[in-house]
Chains A and B, each alone.
Chain A
Amino acid sequence: MTGRKLAKVILVLVFVSLLAAPVVFKRLAARRAQANASIGATAAASRYGFTLQEVAQASGVNFTHQAPKLDSRLDHIMPQVASMGAGVSIVDFDRDGWSDIYVTNSGEGSKNALFKNMKDGSFKDVAADLGVADVNQPGTGVSMGAVWGDYDNDGYEDLFVNKWGKPELFHNDAGQKFSRVTDKAKFPEWVNANTAIWFDYDRDGRLDLFLGGYYAEDVNLWHLKSTKMMPESFEYAKNGGRKYLFRNLGDGVFEEVSQKLGIDTRRWALAAVAADFRGSGNTDLFIANDYGISEQFFYDGRQFNEVGKDTGVGFSPKSGMSAALGDILNTGRYSIYVSNISEEGVLIQGNNLWVPRDGTSGDGLRYDNLARAMDVEIGGWSWGAQFGDLNNDGMLDLYLANGYVSADRNQNYWYDFSKIAGGNSAIISDAAHWPAMEGRSLSGYQQKKVWLNDGAGKFVDVAQAVGASDLYDGRAVAMVDLWNRGVLDVVIANQKGPLLIYKNNVTPENKWVAFELEGSASNRSAIGAEVRLFWNGHQQVQQVSGGSGFCAQNQRRLHFGIGKNPQLEKAEIRWPSGKVETIEKPLAGQTYKIKESA
């Protein structure tokens, strides 16, 4: 064989090998995943340190979300337009020390539910008795989500319900009932909002409220003036709803200050989180937008300045669905997880995990997207996500809900969706141009992800192995220690599906410690307060959140897993007021109830 012929043979072999390589690697990965998924509960508990058991029905929680029925001119694409509204937020509304669950519903006339924790493993829906069920009356819009915060500092958490419609505020009357105080609060008549969070941006000790519009506020989805209400672009849309920042004036009245303070955007917001990202003492704001880039606003004490392009989070447009914060590397800094859309062979956006870049801080803070490097990139059509230490090993894990429209299993709408998504704004923005769904699925029946943080820079999906095996169209995810056992359970609100409660069974070797904070100079809910825990050379920061993920709010209690044989050094509490308090050598297995010193 001549040298030239030999080279040709080698070339062909290399060519064929390169063609085969993706298939071979894919099969190996699938085999490995299959082996991991089918190990059984005992082996999963032993290997991963926890298992999840779905107990909603057994706990007396029998709630199924209903979707709205919008203007008939949207009938042909109704499942994808009326595809949100399953929200869940955790609260201890009656201050009995046990977390309760508030769930939103979205059918016209449907009822929201407030599941009171009966402390015996069961829950009872008390929403109707207490006056927070009937908030979806025809003509007023329907619920999209809800967040709890003690806006008047009376010690009881009040309820804000964001809707495609009239936003509603309910005052908690000492845990006995709720009074509707919307009119006094002076909220706008109509906002198509999919995100709301409580935070005290001006640190005056009173909770303020951010409300993010999705569809423009002049769109009434039940009575369309025009079918030109869809996004003008799949990735560059700026024709969504406006944003609102309601400053709490202290007498039950809120003043809208968004534009005055620099928050002036019409991107399609689906999620927001607030935190002191820079360690500046001010609370900044992050907005995950559908059909576009995320936005990050740094608050300088007077103005919010949009810095997303500078920090790196606001350059590449995707479909932001959810935003969650977590100190995933135990470095004392928050990473931001933003879920997006990935569908095999059609659209691979990948989720974003924005990790603060080493050596950057303050106004020079920069982020790198490490989702791929840390294996939390591909979920599906991803929605709500939350961080929490599910096995108490000292590293924050990640739960991700997936699935958009589950209809006919054998037919999917992706071809038509991709056809229109690539079109010019004049085409995509008009619902009349969108092909009919005709009962087809769109990223339906998707598995969820439970990504376990291995502490070495990787996450491993253990969802199927530990028991998170449902295929509902997941939306909101909330983490909460429902039975005060020192573990984080997971509550999932599904679109047109049942509310799920995954009871977490953690192997006892790993320890925990928790902190329940109550502000005095700071807002009484202590939203925005941070606990920085130091143990065994680790440092982890968590903050009390006024809403995170997608249409969700975790428990206010901060739960830290601390692994085996923890040597706890101290817990440093930084209140929104700026005060710092330290608990020396806290004990494992304790829930510390800390009131801000006067």
Chain B
Amino acid sequence: MSQSATQPIGAAVVESAKRRRLSPDNRYIAPLFITCILLVGHLSYGILEGYEKTGIAIISAIVAELILGRIFLGKWLNLASAYISGISVGILLRSPALWPFALASVLSIMSKYVLRVKGRHLWNPSNFGICALLFLAPETVAALSVQWGNFKWPLVVIWILGVVIIWRAKRIHITATYIASFLLFAYLRSFITGDSWWAEVAPITGPMYQLFVFFMITDPKTTVKSQKWQCIVVFFVAFVELFLRLNHVVHAPLYALFIVGPIAMLIEIWLESRRTMVLQESNAT
């Protein structure tokens, strides 16, 4: 009996361990997915001018993370996050020069250590690095703004995979809210400008948005904690993007996140500290 009773428990433990082995750590799914997009895109369409730029971006981010993590946190950090920052810079930044890729990656990682409030960094790292270069070196860099290919199927596959991954990471509500808001505001922009709705929708069919909606706006470290507020914040990203677009700002989504993201984080940090203070006070009384 006891034997028969222990057998299922043992089997469950083994099964669970097996599942853990077969089921990849969530942290590695996103980098894996982006790498696949990159490789497929490059091997099919030559989306990169060469591997060296993306390589430099990734290596710079990883080296910066290793050094800064060791110095300021006293440990060797898991490199998945740095890898995502580096590869995002490598894909989203466009420049014939090599140095912007290194600089953007290093700035991305450094921003996590410099621009911190109460132990939390404010900007999505690659968003910060890319925007910094777009502001400061527009004569040398641009953001990815053109379609990778014409075939619909790769696009469909990327969207399906992206949705699955982001759903698995329990952040699909952020992506969905953003897309719904974007489409709504596209209609509004079309109404205001008189341009075709298709023209307003066109950007979201491009690869830049695929990375933006799946990986940049959903970054767990730089989004607020509650689901409701995540949706509200991302709605405001689309809202600010609306105004930027009406003012003909080419890199509107990146800048919108650059503006809204840290404000949301600061508000949350402030609210949390107030809540903590109130709790401490009530405990004291």
Interface set of A (CB-CB < 8 Å, partner B): 4, 7-8, 11-12, 14-15, 18-19, 21-23, 26, 232-238, 293, 315-317, 343-350, 369, 371-372, 377-378, 414-416, 418-425, 427-428, 430, 432-436
Contacts and interface: CB of A to CB of B under 8 A. Distances in A.
Interface stretch (B12-20, B107-115, B276-284): B107-115
B202 interface: yes
Contacts of B137: 22-23, 26
B107 A15 contact: yes
Contacts of B136: 19, 22-23
A404 B155 CA distance: 32
15 contacts: A11-B113, A11-B114, A15-B114, A19-B107, A22-B140, A233-B147, A317-B46, A348-B96, A421-B146, A422-B146, A422-B147, A422-B203, A422-B208, A423-B198, A433-B196
A235 B146 contact: yes
B199 A236 contact: no
Contacts of A236: 45, 147-150
Contact of A345 (B134, B194, B199, B206): B134
Given A12-B114, A26-B139, A423 B147 contact: yes
Contact of B196 (A15, A349, A418, A435): A435
Given A233-B147, A315-B46, A348-B95, A18 B103 contact: yes
Given A349-B96, A415-B249, A424-B150, 10 more contacts: A11-B113, A344-B138, A348-B142, A350-B96, A416-B199, A419-B200, A421-B145, A428-B202, A434-B199, A435-B195
B205 A233 contact: no
B132 A424 contact: no
B133 interface: yes
Nearest to B103: A18
The 3 lowest CB-CB distance pairs between A and B, nearest first, are A423-B202, A345-B138, A350-B96
Contacts of A348: 94-96, 139-142
Interface string B141-168: 1100111111010010000000000000
B193 interface: yes
Contacts of A372: 96-97
Contact of B72 (A8, A18, A344, A433): A8
Most buried by B among A7, A428, A432: A428
Contact of B155 (A232, A421, A424, A433): A424
Contacts of A415: 245, 248-250
B201 interface: yes
A422 to B, nearest CB: 4
Interface of B: 45-46, 48-50, 68, 71-72, 94-97, 103, 106-107, 110-111, 113-114, 132-134, 136-142, 145-150, 152, 155, 193-196, 198-203, 205-206, 208, 245, 248-251
A378 B140 CA distance: 9
A428 B147 contact: yes
Contacts, number: 156
A4 B208 CA distance: 39
Contacts of B248: 414-416
A11 B97 contact: no
Contact of B205 (A21, A349, A378, A422): A422
B105 to A, nearest CB: 11
Contact of A316 (B49, B114, B199, B201): B49
B40 to A, nearest CB: 14
B205 A423 contact: yes
A416 B195 contact: yes
B262 to A, nearest CB: 16
Nearest to A239: B150
B92 to A, nearest CB: 12
B205 A345 contact: no
Contact of A235 (B72, B107, B132, B147): B147
Contact of B145 (A22, A347, A432): A347
Given A11-B114, A425-B147, A21 B103 contact: yes
A22 B97 CA distance: 13
A346 B250 contact: yes
B250 A18 contact: no
Given A11-B110, A436-B195, A424 B203 contact: no
A345 B250 CA distance: 8
Contacts of A234: 146-147
B57 to A, nearest CB: 15
B96 A377 contact: yes
A435 B199 contact: yes
Contacts of A435: 193, 195-196, 199
A370 to B, nearest CB: 11
Contacts of A8: 72
Nearest to A314: B46
A405 to B, nearest CB: 16
A579 B136 CA distance: 57
A20 to B, nearest CB: 8
A13 B149 CA distance: 42
Contacts of A432: 196
B202 A425 contact: no
B202 A14 contact: no
Contacts of B193: 435
B122 to A, nearest CB: 14
A384 to B, nearest CB: 21
Contacts of B140: 22, 348
A371 B248 CA distance: 31
Most buried by A among B113, B134, B196: B196
Contact of A427 (B50, B94, B199): B199
Contacts of A238: 150
B150 A233 contact: yes
Nearest to A14: B110
Contacts of A317: 45-46
Contacts of A377: 96
Nearest to B251: A345
Nearest to B149: A236
A423 B206 CA distance: 6
Nearest to B134: A345
B147 A420 contact: no
A327 B142 CA distance: 32
A369 B96 CA distance: 10
